[in-house]
Structure formats: structure tokens, C-alpha cells
């Protein structure tokens, strides 16, 4: 199964990148069972979407 990052939509290499797995409630069945959606995101240091973001992740500047 390919893991995709919810922040940058890029693939995550579980062997070489840091990431976290999240669980979101999708909906509840009439029986009362809760259906979960699993999601993954790169941690801030690994995610290209956060390289230039203000207020999140590590800040990097071009030389």
C-alpha cells in the first residue's frame, strides 16, 4: 500500500522518511459502530509543503 501525505499529497517512504499515522472518524453506522479513515502525514522536517510555510515546520531560506 502506498502511503500519501495529507499535507503535500506526495508519497511517503516508510523506510526512509519520518511520518505519523492519524485516524479520523468517517461516520457512524446505524448499528453504532464507528468507521475510521486512516491518514498519514510527513513530519514537519520531511514535508515539502512545510519547507516555506510560515508558522509551521522548519524555515529554510535560499542562499
Residues that bind Zn ion (CB under 5 A): 5, 7-8, 42, 47
Cα 5 to Cα 17: distance, rounded to the nearest angstrom:
11
Cα 25 to Cα 50: distance, rounded to the nearest angstrom:
25
- Least gap, CB of 36 to Zn ion (angstroms): 21
- Least gap, CB of 60 to Zn ion (angstroms): 15
Q: Which set of grid coordinates corresponds to residue 1?
A: 500500500
- Least gap, CB of 6 to Zn ion (angstroms): 8
* Residue among 37 and 45 whose Cβ is closer to Zn ion: 45
The residue number with the shortest CB distance to Zn ion is 5
Amino acid at each position: 500500500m502506498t502511503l500519501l501525505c495529507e499535507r503535500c499529497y506526495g508519497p511517503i517512504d516508510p523506510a526512509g522518511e519520518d511520518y505519523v499515522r492519524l485516524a479520523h472518524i468517517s461516520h457512524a453506522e446505524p448499528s453504532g459502530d464507528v468507521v475510521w479513515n486512516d491518514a498519514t502525514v510527513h513530519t514537519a522536517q520531511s514535508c515539502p509543503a512545510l519547507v516555506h510555510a510560515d508558522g509551521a515546520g522548519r524555515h529554510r531560506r535560499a542562499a
